[in-house]
């Protein structure tokens, strides 16, 4: 065969991955053209940030999605995978601002909003496309014609329409409430954007003296710097210790300010002293107490985390510096009673990890109660399912605890809030389009709200905004609701919850029916990958070294849904070895195919139904095994058991096809019977086609490349004029568009032959184990006795050629009992049969005698050395007892070994005499 008609000798993914991807794109295979005759299957990609590059989390997330999309596409669905990127408000603004500062020495405020936004859009133009190019390297079969960006014109229109809709329904309001403030990013954050951690910290117990000159009350706090904004001390109404103090007043130490002692259900009598300082402007629980009692809400910390004038001489000082100085002053003045080290919950910004500051602020909020309830019901009634199921608890818990969502951000990059303030009368106008005059007073002195919306506000609309909403588009009507959302468990509350309640509110339907939740990719030690630890792994470097298929298969195999995985290079290498195994097996098959003038000829199809009974047993076995695997793998895919499906494909290819079937048919391929060779080739090619189809969603590049070298079936339309190889891919339909193997029950007519082969395989494995344990030379042919019932022996006789060739047997005796079995035999028991091999067949007595003689000499030397050591008083008297005892135990073991060797050598001498 000419080299051009076969695969390259060595598997080198760099030689074809880029070419294959270009062929897919050129063919239009990724584009989901609406076809009413087909069922839709749609996935919207969680949009990566334009600031980043592909990391292992993206690689896992997108591989899972691509597997599902490719599988459904092959099943005949109109499969849409809609890609896009996220503007990532905070992250992008910080990155652009840092770059400007580094290059020009200017802050964003010195640059101005208009110029800064111009630079941000330029950043998006330059860097936004980089991650999509990286996605192509991974093999993502996205519909790039439908690629979206969260701030493109259509998505921006949807954001404004949704904001106006909620505002008009009373579900969005502007209010002065407690929010999470990141002083470093300079913006408010939603509760979901605050990462909580427990850290060791200090509780200070301070005495607040009574205003009447009494002892007052002792309060524990972990944030002494907020004492300047205290407005009350709260105790539980049932706490008898303080009942006489309720209604009295105390002084905030060293300030001269009086505050009341009030009764409220919030304090826990079992914690601390049972008395709690109430600071409504700096603690969410205190804020609620303040609302119930109508308390003032003064602030002592500003939006930059500096102390305000309320802190008097500490005004302008950083909050933590103030804490240290204030505690020292209170201690010197005698107000500190004691300190206590405890674990304290700390909230940090999810972007920069700065400790957040709860602050009172005028912000825009979404009322959550009415929106959350339908989302809760959707999960409880089973309309929305989570895979794995236990993540539904996370989803429901978050919804149950959801407070009103602060959606305004003090940033410039993002969707600017569609609200205008009239400077003439104070009216706030919310509109989808820019108003020119005030609807209240007619003034044209309108000023748009400075804030932008939370990134997750626009992301919440992703499943329907990307399909054209608020317009009634064909895409929206056909593909919504989408089929499944694939996402990491770390953003269930960030994104999933918000998409669900937004989809129900706007569309009246869930945005997807299933949520497939995967874990995180951690390093080899189980740590989260991060820049600070320097343990991140660049997937593009892995692709460059091992190929995209190896990375994809390693990420998806051996990990159950929802579980974190440890990234290990060994897994990548194992996946590449798997690809190499398939490559070499395919090359072997193609090498044996009929050809004319360097072009492969069509291969006759495999007989169907009853005619298959005429095929040799090994053909029937592999055909049934493939059909059985296809049904199981399809079932696994339908239940989102992708890792299990990958493992079954691996076993089918590596074990059944490569290690067994190819070995079993080599005798026919190399024989003189042309008809048998043709039959073997037809089955080899038929099964290879099927396993390429099954593997394609997981390892698309190598399967497409191999597919391109396979000839058409004899009854194909192009049989009269076989295509010629062109750039390694034959000029006919691509594998990406081929039909998924039928997931029908395995053919029953193939069962008897398949059972015979399975029994033969079991015997062969047993014989190989016996040979290995006896160190029998691989080339040595053995004689064997098989003892079984008559019907089993009859079946095994049909497989004698396989038993002899594959297990290395010269002759086989079949018996129904052990009467004629040599006394000295190695044996093994299999299902329904026993195998015996005479030891005389297995062992080379002379070689064994020589080996054991050398071993006896070595052991004798060990005995002499240890005995001498133990006879030396310098060792036995001075060495630790444990070392002396250890040497004595070693001597006993060596002496026992010497006795066994002597007995074995004596027996061998008799055999050799």
Q: What's the count of helices (H) and strands (E) in the chain, helices before strands?
A: 29, 33
Residue 134 to residue 141: CA distance in whole angstroms: 13
CA distance 629 to 661: 15
**Residue 538: pLDDT band with limits 50, 70, 90:** confident
Q: What is the pLDDT of residues 746-797, one digit of tens each?
A: 888 889 999 999 999 999 999 998 888 888 888 889 999 999 999 999 999 9
Residue 37 pLDDT grade (very low, low, confident, very high; cuts 50, 70, 90): very high
Distance CA 505, CA 495 (A): 15
595 has a pLDDT exceeding 80: no
Residues 6+ apart with CB under 8 A from 361: 176, 177, 178, 179, 181, 188, 303
Residue 825 has pLDDT above 70, yes or no: yes
Tell me if 672 sits within 8 A of 660, measured CB to CB.
no
Nearest to 364 by CA among 297, 286, 419: 419
Tracing tokens 């793998």 back to the chain, one arrives at 633
Predicted pLDDT of residue 491: 76
What is the distance between the alpha carbons of residues 664 and 754, in angstroms, rounded to a whole number?
Answer: 13
Q: Tell me how far CA of residue 154 lies from CA of 148, 150, 481, 740, in angstroms.
A: 9, 9, 19, 36
Residue-level pLDDT at 530: 64
Nearest of 607, 613, 606, 605 to residue 748 by alpha carbon: 613
- Using an 8 Å Cβ cutoff, are 828 and 788 in contact? no
Query: pLDDT digits over 835-847, tens only?
Result: 999 888 887 778 7
Whole-number Å distance between alpha carbons of 2 and 198: 68
Handedness of CA 92, 95, 98, 100 (dihedral sign): negative
Per 3-state DSSP, what percentage of the chain is helix, strand, and coil (rounded to 5)?
50, 20, 35
Position with higher pLDDT, 785 vs 560: 785
Q: Using CA atoms in the order 888, 890, 896, 901, what is the torsion angle rounded to 10 degrees?
A: -140
Q: What mean pLDDT comes out for the span 347-361?
A: 89
Share of the chain above pLDDT 90, in %: 72
pLDDT single digits (tens) 431-469? 999 999 999 999 999 999 999 999 999 999 999 999 999
- Residue 775 φ/ψ region, left for φ over 0, alpha for ψ in the -120 to 50 degree band, beta for the rest: left
Q: Is it the case that residue 1 has pLDDT exceeding 60?
A: no
pLDDT at site 722: 41
The four Cα atoms 732, 737, 740, 742 give a dihedral, to 10 degrees, of -60
**Cβ 488 vs Cβ 504: under 8 Å:** no
CB burial of residue 147 (10 Å; 0-12, 13-18, 19+): middle
Q: Is 656 helix (H, G, I), strand (E, B) or coil?
A: helix
Following CA atoms 454, 458, 461, 463 in sequence, which dihedral angle do they give, to the nearest 10 degrees?
-120
The count of C-alpha atoms lying within 13 angstroms of the C-alpha of 469, restricted to the half-sphere facing its C-beta, is 27
Q: 501 exposed, middle or buried (CB, 10 Å; 0-12, 13-18, 19+)?
A: buried
- HSE-CB for 765 with a 13 A CA cutoff: 12
Which residues are CB-contacts of 622 (< 8 A; sequence separation ≥ 6)? 656, 657, 660, 661, 683, 687
**Cα-atom radius of gyration of the chain, to the nearest Å?**
38
pLDDT value of residue 237:
96
The rounded percent of the chain whose pLDDT value lies above 70 is 96
For 830, list phi and psi in degrees, rounded to 5: -120, 180
Q: Which of 553-557, 724-728, 861-865 has the lowest mean pLDDT?
A: 724-728
CA distance 30 to 695: 18
pLDDT at 721 over 80: no
Cβ contacts of 391 within 8 Å, gap of 6 or more: 489, 492, 515, 517, 562
Place 607 in a pLDDT band, splitting at 50, 70 and 90.
Answer: confident
DSSP one-letter code for 48 = P
State the pLDDT at residue 407: 95
Q: Which residue is it, tokens 């099964």?
A: 687
- pLDDT of 338 above 50: yes
Q: What pLDDT is recorded for position 725?
A: 41
Q: How confident is the model at residue 849 (pLDDT cuts 50, 70, 90)?
A: confident
Residue 713 scores a pLDDT above 70: no
Angle subtended at Cα 137 by Cα 133 and Cα 140, rounded to the nearest 5 degrees = 90
pLDDT reading at 36 higher than 60: yes
Read off the pLDDT of residues 242-252 as tens digits, 9 standing for 90 and up. Answer: 999 999 999 99
């Amino acid at each position: 065969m000419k080299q051009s008609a076969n695969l390259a000798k060595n598997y080198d993914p760099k030689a074809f991955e880029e070419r294959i991807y270009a062929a897919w794109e050129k063919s239009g295979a990724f584009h989901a053209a609406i076809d009413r005759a087909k069922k839709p299957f749609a996935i919207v990609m969680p949009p990566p940030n334009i600031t980043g590059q592909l990391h292992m989390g993206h690689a896992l997330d997108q591989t899972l999605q691509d597997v599902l999309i490719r599988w459904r596409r092959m099943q005949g669905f109109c499969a849409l995978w809609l890609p896009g990127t996220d503007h990532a408000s905070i992250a992008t603004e910080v990155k652009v601002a840092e770059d400007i500062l580094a290059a020009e020495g200017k802050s964003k405020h010195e640059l101005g909003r208009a110029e800064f936004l111009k630079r941000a859009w330029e950043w998006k133009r330059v860097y936004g496309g980089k991650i999509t190019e990286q996605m192509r390297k991974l093999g993502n079969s996205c519909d790039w014609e439908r690629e979206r960006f969260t701030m493109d014109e259509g998505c921006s229109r949807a954001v404004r329409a949704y904001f106006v809709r909620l505002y008009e329904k009373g579900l969005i309001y502007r209010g002065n409430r407690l929010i999470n403030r990141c002083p470093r990013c300079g913006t408010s954050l939603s509760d979901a954007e605050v990462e909580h951690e427990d850290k060791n910290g200090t509780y200070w117990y301070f005495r607040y003296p009574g205003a009447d000159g009494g002892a007052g009350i002792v309060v524990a706090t972990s944030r002494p710097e907020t004492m300047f904004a205290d407005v009350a001390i709260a105790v539980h109404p049932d706490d008898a210790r303080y009942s006489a103090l309720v209604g009295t007043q105390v002084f905030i130490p060293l300030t001269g300010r009086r505050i009341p002692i009030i009764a409220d259900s919030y304090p826990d009598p079992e914690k601390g002293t049972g008395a709690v300082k109430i600071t409504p402007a700096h603690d969410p629980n205190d804020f609620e107490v303040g609302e119930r009692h109508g308390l003032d809400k003064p602030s002592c910390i500003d939006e930059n985390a500096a102390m305000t004038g309320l802190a008097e001489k500490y005004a302008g000082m950083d909050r933590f510096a103030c804490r240290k100085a204030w505690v020292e002053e209170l201690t010197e003045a005698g107000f500190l009673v004691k300190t206590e080290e405890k674990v304290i919950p700390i909230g940090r910004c999810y972007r920069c990890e700065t400790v957040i500051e709860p602050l009172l602020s005028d912000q825009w909020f979404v009322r959550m109660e009415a929106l959350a309830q339908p989302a809760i019901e959707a999960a409880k009634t089973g309309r929305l399912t989570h895979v794995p199921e236990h993540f539904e608890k996370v989803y429901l818990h978050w919804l149950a605890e959801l407070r009103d969502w602060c959606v305004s951000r003090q940033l410039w990059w993002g969707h600017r809030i569609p609200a205008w303030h009239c400077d003439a009368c104070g009216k706030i106008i919310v509109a989808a389009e820019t108003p020119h005059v005030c609807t209240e007073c007619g003034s044209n002195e309108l000023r748009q709200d400075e804030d932008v919306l939370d990134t997750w506000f626009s992301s919440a609309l992703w499943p329907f905004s990307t399909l054209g909403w608020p317009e009634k588009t064909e895409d929206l009507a056909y593909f919504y609701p989408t089929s499944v959302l694939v996402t990491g468990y770390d953003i269930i509350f960030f994104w999933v919850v918000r998409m669900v309640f937004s989809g129900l509110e706007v569309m009246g339907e869930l945005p997807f029916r299933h949520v497939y939740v995967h874990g995180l990719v951690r390093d080899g030690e189980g740590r989260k990958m991060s820049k600070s630890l320097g343990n991140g792994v660049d997937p593009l470097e892995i692709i460059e070294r091992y190929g995209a298929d190896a990375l994809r298969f390693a990420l998806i195999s051996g990990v159950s849904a929802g579980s974190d995985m440890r990234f290990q290079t060994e897994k990548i290498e194992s996946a590449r070895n798997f690809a190499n195994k398939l490559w070499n097996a395919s090359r072997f098959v193609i090498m044996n195919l009929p050809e004319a003038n360097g072009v492969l000829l069509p291969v006759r199809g495999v007989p169907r139904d009853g005619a298959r009974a005429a095929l040799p047993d090994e053909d029937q076995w592999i055909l049934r095994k493939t059909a059985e695997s296809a049904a199981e793998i399809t079932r696994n895919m339908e239940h989102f058991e992708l890792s299990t499906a990958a493992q079954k494909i691996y076993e089918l290819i590596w074990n059944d096809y490569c290690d067994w079937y190819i070995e079993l048919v080599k005798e026919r391929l190399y024989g003189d019977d042309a008809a048998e060779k043709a039959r073997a080739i037809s089955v080899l090619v038929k099964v290879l086609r099927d396993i390429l189809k099954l593997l394609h969603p997981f390892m698309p590049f190598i399967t497409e490349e191999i597919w391109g070298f396979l000839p058409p079936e004899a009854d194909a339309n192009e049989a009269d004029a076989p295509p010629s190889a062109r750039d390694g891919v034959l000029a006919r339909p691509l594998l990406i568009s081929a039909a998924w193997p039928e997931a029908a029950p395995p053919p029953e007519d193939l069962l008897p032959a398949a059972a015979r082969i399975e029994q033969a395989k079991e015997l062969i494995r047993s014989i190989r184990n016996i040979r290995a344990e006896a160190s029998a030379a691989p080339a040595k042919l053995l004689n064997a006795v098989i003892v079984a019932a008559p019907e089993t022996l009859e079946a095994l006789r049909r497989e004698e050629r396989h038993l002899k060739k594959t297990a290395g047997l010269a002759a086989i005796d079949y018996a129904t009992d052990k009467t004629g079995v040599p006394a000295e035999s190695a044996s093994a028991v299999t299902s329904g049969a026993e195998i015996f091999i005479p030891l005389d067949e297995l062992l080379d007595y002379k070689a064994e005698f020589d080996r054991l003689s050398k071993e006896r000499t070595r052991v004798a030397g060990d005995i002499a050395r240890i005995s001498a050591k133990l006879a030396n008083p310098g060792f036995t008297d001075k060495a630790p007892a444990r070392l002396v005892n250890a040497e004595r135990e070693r001597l006993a073991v060596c002496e026992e070994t010497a006795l066994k060797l002597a007995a074995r050598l004596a027996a061998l001498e008799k055999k050799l005499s």
